[in-house]
Amino acid sequence: MKITLKVWRQKNRDSKGAFKTYQVDHASPDMSFLEMIDVLNTDLIKKGEESIAFDHDCREGICGMCSMYINGHPHGPLQTTTCQLHMRSFKDGETITVEPWRAKAFPVVKDLVVDRSAFDRIQQAGGYVSVNTGGVPDANEIPIPKIVADEAFDAAACIGCGACVAACKNASAMLFVGAKVSQLALLPQGKPERKQRAERMVAQMDAEGFGSCTNTGACEAECPKGISVTNIARLNREYLGAMLTSYQVEVGGGE
């Protein structure tokens, strides 16, 4: 396959970036998109040019680091991570445009690498589960309905890649935060801190500069793990309940 790549090149977050065009003449349909970039980088190094910087780690679709905006879609045309996207998803002779995530809260570090530590700070704001769970309980000691356990597991499948932010016209992180709040709020172990967790994580999300949700559903459509927007609804309920309770306590304390 012969591919034309238009890649965003940017030296650092303070520099002005621009697209640069490259040709890949011998891309195999069975290559992953990242392997194709590896081949291109090898050619660039041989020519004495600087290689394209991009994030990657596991290359198994479970770490969420391979964040690239490809032809107008986070991670590319398929609902999967970039490392699991193969060149057979493109046509011979096609021009492919590759960009970093575009969000105020995800500043560009270099080329296709963005700083996603805002997600880490949001999770840290949520704190820990304080329940002393002790040893491993028997299977039926803490009865949790299967439908609830399945919902918590589905929310916990979020890998924090940021595709939801990249897909959203407002760069909202509501799907990510909703998933992280939901996975604990649904389970007995996470209920003691559920109110302060929702308040603190939403406050940190706002402080990081993420936009608001307008319910277009683009986040769910592009999420490589299929995280449902029902988690956003749950986050809203958790946050509203926490704020109402806090207000009642403040009013009651002042009387």
132/223 same-domain check = yes
Question: 96 with 90: CB under 8 angstroms?
Answer: yes
213: left (phi over 0), alpha (psi -120 to 50) or beta: beta
Q: What is the DSSP string of 52-95?
A: PP---S-SSSSS-----EETTEETSSSSS-GGG-BGGGS-TT-E
Cα(132)–Cα(153) distance, integer angstroms: 21
172/152 same-domain check = yes
Q: HEC states along 163-229?
A: HHHHHCCCCECHHHHHHHHHHHHCCHHHCCCHHHHHHHHHHHHHHHCCECCCCCCHHHHHCCCCCCC
What's the structural domain count of the chain?
Answer: 2
193/142 same-domain check = yes
Q: Which of 67, 94, 110 is the last residue of a domain?
A: 110
Question: What pLDDT shows up at residue 255?
Answer: 43
Give this prediction's pTM: 0.91
- Domain holding 174, by residue range, is 117-254
**pLDDT tens, residue order, the chain (255 aa):** 999 999 999 999 999 999 999 999 999 999 999 999 999 999 999 999 999 999 999 999 999 999 899 999 999 999 999 999 999 999 999 999 999 999 999 999 999 999 999 999 999 999 988 866 667 666 666 678 899 999 999 999 999 999 999 999 999 999 999 999 999 999 988 988 999 999 999 999 999 999 999 999 999 999 999 999 999 999 999 999 999 987 555 555 544
